[in-house]
């Protein structure tokens, strides 16, 4: 698959027998995951680098074609920040969460549910898939309430982060209906409250909760690092709840990685078979993880 801006990888030096062996090695994984759901949190460089965007779209389409059901949940922090700056508004974060007043919420809805979502839908469709964009409002999917953010140092204190949402419930019926009809759902992390108010929800949290509700085989979280790194910068290929607690306490896991890890751990404890934090800067990162036998990124274990 190619696009005007994308040069295909030159495979002419690989002999037909080697190509056949590569496909044969992928076969056990295709068989294992056929008919299973995989929730993919799409963010970081993979979302902004044109060549990586193309790789991601092709990977998602290929997974669908071999009988796996990908569901994409996307972020859009840098795009939101860019538009806020153009409007002369400075983004503010508390413990990795974006403070979202009413004006910022309008920008979030416009960027996530409009520009970013439609870019991803277009990329997947151009690669030969059939993507459909959804927000949490569609099919009454994501019901939310105002997030009460306890201070990490003093849990008796709460931070007001505005229209940032905590998920009350997810009704996945619209996602399942699309999957059954051969579509690829692309979900923007926006929920709605009792009074029809909109809430900005952390995309990692939405991906984790959606994976749990769908009883996904895998939750794959694309990031801008190789996975979770220790203090010396070494990749930790597996993490247990106890180890995660230690890493949060000593500051190794901090900022935006906190909700990512917390969501991954919740999903792992709630029946999602495998949760992986992987490097979205690597071309075809999704295929390397799903159809390969080498450890890739960090796997979060439930015990």
**Closest Cα partner for 179 from 31, 30, 70, 60?**
70
Residue 11 lies in a domain: no
Residue 284 lies in a domain: yes
Per-residue confidence at 11, pLDDT binned at 50, 70, 90? Answer: low
User: In the prediction, which pLDDT does 1 show?
Assistant: 40
Q: What is the mean pLDDT of residues 169-196?
A: 95
Is the distance from CB of 228 to CB of 261 less than 8 angstroms?
yes
- Which is higher by pLDDT, 260 or 30? 30
Residue 4 lies in a domain: no
User: In the prediction, which pLDDT does 3 show?
Assistant: 42
Whole domain around residue 266: which residue ranges? 32-300
Query: What's the CA gap between 224 and 211, in Å, rounded?
Result: 21
Radius of gyration of the chain (CA): 19
pLDDT beyond 80 at 186:
yes
Q: What is the mean pLDDT of residues 173-183?
A: 93
Residue 13 lies in a domain: no
Angle (nearest 5°) at CA 285 between 93 and 118:
60
Among 6-15, 92-101, 188-197, 252-261, top mean pLDDT goes to 188-197
User: In the prediction, which pLDDT does 261 show?
Assistant: 86
- Which is higher by pLDDT, 77 or 39? 39
The CATH number that applies at residue 37 is: 3.40.1160.10
pLDDT beyond 90 at 227:
no
Residue 9 lies in a domain: no
User: In the prediction, which pLDDT does 303 show?
Assistant: 73
The number of distinct structural domains making up the chain is 1
pLDDT beyond 50 at 179:
yes
Query: What's the CA gap between 69 and 183, in Å, rounded?
Result: 9
User: In the prediction, which pLDDT does 4 show?
Assistant: 42
Residue 100 lies in a domain: yes
Is the distance from CB of 72 to CB of 184 less than 8 angstroms?
yes
| Strand order, beta sheet including 190-192 | 165-170, 142-146, 190-192, 198-200
Residue 207 lies in a domain: yes
- Which is higher by pLDDT, 254 or 5? 254
Q: How does the average pLDDT of the chain come out, rounded? A: 88
- The answer on whether 77 is annotated among ligand-binding residues is yes
Query: What's the CA gap between 283 and 279, in Å, rounded?
Result: 9
- The answer on whether 200 is annotated among ligand-binding residues is yes
Helix (H) or strand (E) holding 286: helix 285-290
Residue 3 lies in a domain: no
- The answer on whether 76 is annotated among ligand-binding residues is yes
User: In the prediction, which pLDDT does 242 show?
Assistant: 85
Tokens of 218: 């895998």
Query: What's the CA gap between 168 and 8, in Å, rounded?
Result: 44
pLDDT beyond 50 at 17:
yes
């Amino acid at each position: 698959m190619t696009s005007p801006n994308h040069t295909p990888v030159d495979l002419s030096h690989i002999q037909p027998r080697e190509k056949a062996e590569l496909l044969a090695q992928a076969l056990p994984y295709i068989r294992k995951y056929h008919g299973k759901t995989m929730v993919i949190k799409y963010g970081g460089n993979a979302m902004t680098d044109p060549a990586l965007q193309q790789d991601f779209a092709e990977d998602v389409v290929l997974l669908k074609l071999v009988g796996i059901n990908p569901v994409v949940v996307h972020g859009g922090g840098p795009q939101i920040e860019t538009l806020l700056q153009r409007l002369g508004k400075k983004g503010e974060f508390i413990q990795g969460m974006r403070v979202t007043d009413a004006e910022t919420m309008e920008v979030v809805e416009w960027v996530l549910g409009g520009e970013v979502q439609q870019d991803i839908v277009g990329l997947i469709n151009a690669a030969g898939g059939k993507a459909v964009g959804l927000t949490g409002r569609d099919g009454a999917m994501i019901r939310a309430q105002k997030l009460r953010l306890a201070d990490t140092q003093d849990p008796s204190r709460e931070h007001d982060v505005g229209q940032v949402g905590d998920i009350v419930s997810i009704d996945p019926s619209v996602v399942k209906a699309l999957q059954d009809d051969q579509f690829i759902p692309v979900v923007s992390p926006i929920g709605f409250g009792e009074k029809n108010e909109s809430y900005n929800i952390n995309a990692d949290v939405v991906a984790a909760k959606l994976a749990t509700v769908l009883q996904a085989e895998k939750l794959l979280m694309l990031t801008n690092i190789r996975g979770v790194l220790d203090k010396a910068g070494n990749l930790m290929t597996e993490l247990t709840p106890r180890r995660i607690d230690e890493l949060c306490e000593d500051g190794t896991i901090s900022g935006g990685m906190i909700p990512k890890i917390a969501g991954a751990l919740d999903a792992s404890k709630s029946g999602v078979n495998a949760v992986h934090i992987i490097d979205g800067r690597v071309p075809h990162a999704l295929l390397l993880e799903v159809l390969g036998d080498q450890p890739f990124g960090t796997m979060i274990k439930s015990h």
